[in-house]
Every structure is written in structure tokens, then in C-alpha cells.
Structure 1
């Protein structure tokens, strides 16, 4: 069952893409080089990598970021950029399984929120549904946990008014 948690603001470095679900590996494949760039500059990740969904376009297209939390400032070279995840109250649900099940897990969280009267930090924009902060935090390293059925992903959705 989802829980509401408080999160502090978190700096991060990321790359952004507009893509459809089948194209998602193109962005996911940017995480290892991004982590490598940080390491080459002596910057250790300050947490697990994540995907941040910025805009959900009609027709299952997304503006999404592949990000890595960092402590302190780091100015990456384009196409990477630095930003900050906002502090606030978030709904947290932990999903265990292959990425193919994330859409259903997300739908369950959104349905739970609707039943509980949760107002999400989102609005309708000119290009689709814009989220203040909606994350998939990748808790499992595929090199250490090769079976996707055992991967752990935290789903985090910022609550309005946080």
C-alpha cells in the first residue's frame, strides 16, 4: 500500500528526451555514461538513479529525464544539465518486477490516490499533463541483480501544495 513521505530537495544531473515507451531504452542507456562522467570528475552519486517524468503527451509519449542525484554543484556539459528535485510530500510505492509492469503499478498508485482524495502536483499544459515531480527511482543495479523480475523501483509522485 502506498505511503506519504517527506523528501528534501535534491540536486541532480540528467539528460532529457521526448520519446514513446518502445524508445525508452534509448534514454535508459544514457545512465551509465552519465554516472561515468560524474566519476571522471570525482563526483559520487548521492543516491539511486531515476527517471523523472516531466510531461505525459497524448498517445503515450513522454518528456522524461534520466537523472543521478548529486551533492553540491556540478556543471555538466550539454546535453546533460543540472537541476533540483523539489522538496515536499510524495506518495511512495515500491514495485518489484520487470519494467514491463511499471505502467500497471503506476496506474494502481494513481487509482489509490484518487480513492484517497490525493491531489497530485500536476496540471494540464499545452503539450499534455505536466508533473511537478513524478519519479521512478531505480533501486536495483542490473549488474548486481541480473533477473529483471527481482528489480526494485520506487515510484514517487509529488502531492500538490507540498
Structure 2
């Protein structure tokens, strides 16, 4: 199930994350284990998350390898290290929708948001460099923790794409 898409301006938002390059089909196995690693790193430094965990997709190459980050937003910018890196979602206009359901069908939510953006005459922030699509900010924010809610029909994920200004 999909919510009605919307657009909004979002201020810059700092985060902490682990960066990883993964094949599109390896996302379900490679990225989720990074979330507790980031959380443990933050806990050791007494840094509280300022929102839900996320996966940020930075780029995809012609072989379907993605540059990804898995982490948490934080209230203020803090230093990372060679493993957990500091970053920020840039200020700007974003399109989003909320997908409710099993993660295995989430690609359809991405496609629905892409189609909606195009139908509205908007453009996602992206560029292509040597065949690799580089996104401004393409994010999945996990609003319902599947470790706390076992029923996939109740899982909610906000899909967020940064738009061209």
C-alpha cells in the first residue's frame, strides 16, 4: 500500500552512517546488519539518533552495483571515523511517499514515486557520470522496525527523493 506522494522543503540534516558498495540483489543481506553496528558505535559515544534508521542510495552503476549508506540522523553534526562516517542530507525540495508492506516489494514504491515525480513535471536531482547514475539523495527511512513488528504487512518505509531546485 502506498500513501499519497507529496513534496516539501527539508532543511539540512546531519547523520552518521556506514558506507558500502553492494549489488542491488544483495541489499537485503548486506545493509540491514550495518544498522546495529552504527547504533552500537553511537551508543559507545553517547550519541542519540534523531530519527529513524535509513538506507541512502548514492549511485548505481551499469552492473547494478550501488554505493549505499546505512545509518541514523543525528541532532547536530558530529565527527565520524574511518568506519562510521558523518554526512548530511542536503537542504532542498524532496518528494516522498510511505510504503506499507514487505520489503521485497519496495522497488514498486520507488517506481511509483519516480512516475509521480515525472507526472508532476518535477525532476529528481541526479546526474550520470560514465554510465553511473548519481542521485542527490534517494533514501528509505524505516518507520517501523521489523525486529519489533514481525508482520510485514505492517512495516512502513518512507521513500524520499531529492528534487532539482
Q: What is the alpha-carbon distance in structure 1 between the residues aligned to residue 26 and residue 100 of structure 2?
A: 22
Q: What is the alpha-carbon distance in structure 2 between the residues aligned to residue 5 and residue 23 of structure 1?
A: 31
Pairwise CA distance, 1:157: 0.6
Which residue is equivalent to 2:54?
50
Structure 2: 5+ residue runs without aligned partners? none
5 Å-filtered alignment, 1:3-152, equals 3-24=6-27, 25-152=29-156
TM-score, length-scaled by structure 1: 0.93
Q: What is the alpha-carbon distance in structure 2 between the residues aligned to residue 129 and residue 91 of structure 1?
A: 18
Q: What is the alpha-carbon distance in structure 2 between the residues aligned to residue 140 and residue 115 of structure 1?
A: 29
Q: CA RMSD in A?
A: 1.3
Q: What is the alpha-carbon distance in structure 1 between the residues aligned to residue 54 and residue 16 of structure 2?
A: 10
Q: What is the alpha-carbon distance in structure 2 between the residues aligned to residue 29 and residue 127 of structure 1?
A: 29
Q: What is the alpha-carbon distance in structure 1 between the residues aligned to residue 67 and residue 90 of structure 2?
A: 18
**Matched residues, number:** 161
Q: Is the 8 A contact 1:55 1:127 kept in 2?
A: no
Q: What is the alpha-carbon distance in structure 2 between the residues aligned to residue 134 and residue 22 of structure 1?
A: 17
Pairwise CA distance, 1:59: 3.5
Question: Deviation string for 1:95-129 (max 9, x for gaps)?
Answer: 00111111111011101111111111111112511
Q: What is the alpha-carbon distance in structure 1 between the residues aligned to residue 62 and residue 153 of structure 2?
A: 29
